[in-house]
Structure 1
């Protein structure tokens, strides 16, 4: 048994997760009534969600309090990459929806949902999240609020004594160790999530929405494997795929099964550390990315909105389609501040075409039916690109500095 445990521990985390996926599928097929297995997945996601807010608070506080004057970060470049990727995702989804038009069989449902009245409400919610009570922000995993408090506290503690700063660093190191312990349980957690997904949802309920799923997933895969690598290549001027596949493998897989960007923050922090990125940057960019870097959400909003448009036979001109891309990108960035995520922002986008709220809510209900796959791919794309663009900005900066050094020597 001891030798078996040692062999297991020697395997990379990704290989252990693959074993967990296979075991989850086998158990779901052989013993579907063993519902106790699914608790492993719930416990794993809950553990990640529990540690993530406190981890972000202390990591950011410690990083900013220790930040030296004149030390440069890449936040501006990262924010530009986040915005560019999200807008391009919305635009590509619009183009794909015209090339492969999808219609829906609208049915009633989800009447109790309350989508936002407009883009101003989404942005207003985002602003109120910034000034949220810190205890409330921690309890509700409001990362915009947590980041705001962490940044202000970090700035206020810049003039604190070294012993105080060391205490913050020790706390952040201890939380990072807890994260490592939780992440080592990922294979068991993924096993439970796969088991629960197959036994609770099955795949038969998705067959009626096959074409819609193909357009949604096809757009997300195109962004992950073509658009994002192009963005990375333009910035770092070398083969982007080793970095892209590393992020998809070590961040995207867990995000796919947890279906939570918040739960994946500790995974991304660990990957950023593994990639030897600047902690002053990634401790801020990764939790911020979990809130505003939402290419997958932009795809969902655009595709389902245009599916509604095609179903109702509404004509769409180029200007309106471009406006939809912009609205999808802005709304997606505020999705985390709205209960229900990206699906509840579909009525907002539908209002561009004069579609009533009653019809739009039926589309939201259809979105929940395919959510088991749509949300998984969306979260995997969103979360893995947080690390991807953080690394891209840092590598681009190093490339630029190296070029300038060579020119000065010449």
Structure 2
């Protein structure tokens, strides 16, 4: 047998998770031993993330439309329990962040240069932006990665195609599966992409700059780990009534790891869909719930908004009572669900939360700047939590529905 073909076969059929971890270790070693070389391979990470971002919009559009067009009547899609889990998880994340901030209060050095950014002024503006993204031009939505707009147009087209001919439905189904094959190929390249991303991140930033924010990062990461390893398993157990950790740990390993290094929920949509297929979940459910989750399931964003806001409050010596803290949790949850509709994501929603305590915009923007400094870790962990939770809750809803059918 040709040695090169044997190596290629092992690459295509070996453990992807193991290969990714090897890529992580190789990236760290290269960054430490040869930082200049590490920066020269930045294109590997850029190519991988770019390929995922390029194929994700068309994958979501075609797969959702094809699933709805070919859906049989009276088919259970389990979307209602998925959405309920998304909302419960995000609110629980905000409450956890409040508790963590009260138990381990953080303070900031608010002497940073202001960023040239324009945050939303109130929740109404966030919801207004999100609402208009729903009716975005479908071509523009595909070009700009506006997933809430893509989802709406795909649902509309899919429902309309249910009245079309069988041949038309079959064409969409074939296209959806062809694109899924392309996605599998891109995902198999993840070890090379992660290798490039890790090497560049470590070489350019290192971790020394993060030492001054170690306490703040510990609160943020601790709250996110608590959600991932305690709250999410409890919600999953409520749905499936058996040990939730095999599912939770599988999703963290196979979805969370790639999301951590790509730092993009949009780029991780193909990874999550492939994982849902591997878990043998209902395609009519995950084809809609995964892109929806990338838009509204934002527990990590709720934690970031809450912790950084309360850090600013502690720094300024502003007293916080429990009703105000609960109100902050609600604002953070609603804002986090609209984070994808605001340029800059969760960090730009911090001034909105700060306004609840009368903190002026210039001070709040310095808090945003702190968030950008620690973003190399904070944003990665936030994305890993958000993206892996999409699969966790989708799987819980599907497995819960199967359990209910078995007990009828």
Q: TM-score normalised to the size of structure 2?
A: 0.98
Deviation at 1:8, TM superposition (A): 3.7
Q: 2:397 aligns to what?
A: 393
Aligned mate of 1:343, from 341, 347, 355: 347
Q: 2:49 aligns to what?
A: 45
Higher mean Cα deviation, 31-40 or 370-379?
Answer: 31-40
> How far does the alpha carbon of each residue in 1:167-218 deviate from its partner, in whole angstroms, 9 at most, with x for none?
1011111110110110010000000000111011110110000000000000
Contact 2:134 2:152 in 1 (8 A): yes
Q: After TM superposition, where is structure 1 displaced by more than 4 Å over at least 4 residues in a row?
A: none
Q: 1:129 aligns to what?
A: 133
1:108 aligns to 2:99 (yes or no): no
Q: 1:258 aligns to what?
A: 262
Contact 1:109 1:361 in 2 (8 A): no
Q: Which runs of 5 or more structure 1 residues have no equivalent in the other structure?
A: 405-410
| Inter-partner Cα distance in structure 1 for 2:54 and 2:182 | 11
> How far does the alpha carbon of each residue in 1:91-114 deviate from its partner, in whole angstroms, 9 at most, with x for none?
010011000000000123243110
Q: How many residues matched?
A: 404
Matches within 5 A, 1:7-406: 7-34=10-37, 35-404=39-408
Deviation at 1:10, TM superposition (A): 4.0
| Inter-partner Cα distance in structure 2 for 1:362 and 1:256 | 25
Q: Which runs of 5 or more structure 2 residues have no equivalent in the other structure?
A: none
| Inter-partner Cα distance in structure 2 for 1:239 and 1:281 | 22
> How far does the alpha carbon of each residue in 1:338-393 deviate from its partner, in whole angstroms, 9 at most, with x for none?
00000000000000000000100000000000000000000000000101000000
| Inter-partner Cα distance in structure 2 for 1:105 and 1:250 | 37
Higher mean Cα deviation, 236-245 or 69-78?
Answer: 69-78
CA RMSD of aligned residues (A): 0.9
> How far does the alpha carbon of each residue in 1:124-173 deviate from its partner, in whole angstroms, 9 at most, with x for none?
11110000001110111000000000000111111111111111011111
Contact 2:46 2:193 in 1 (8 A): yes
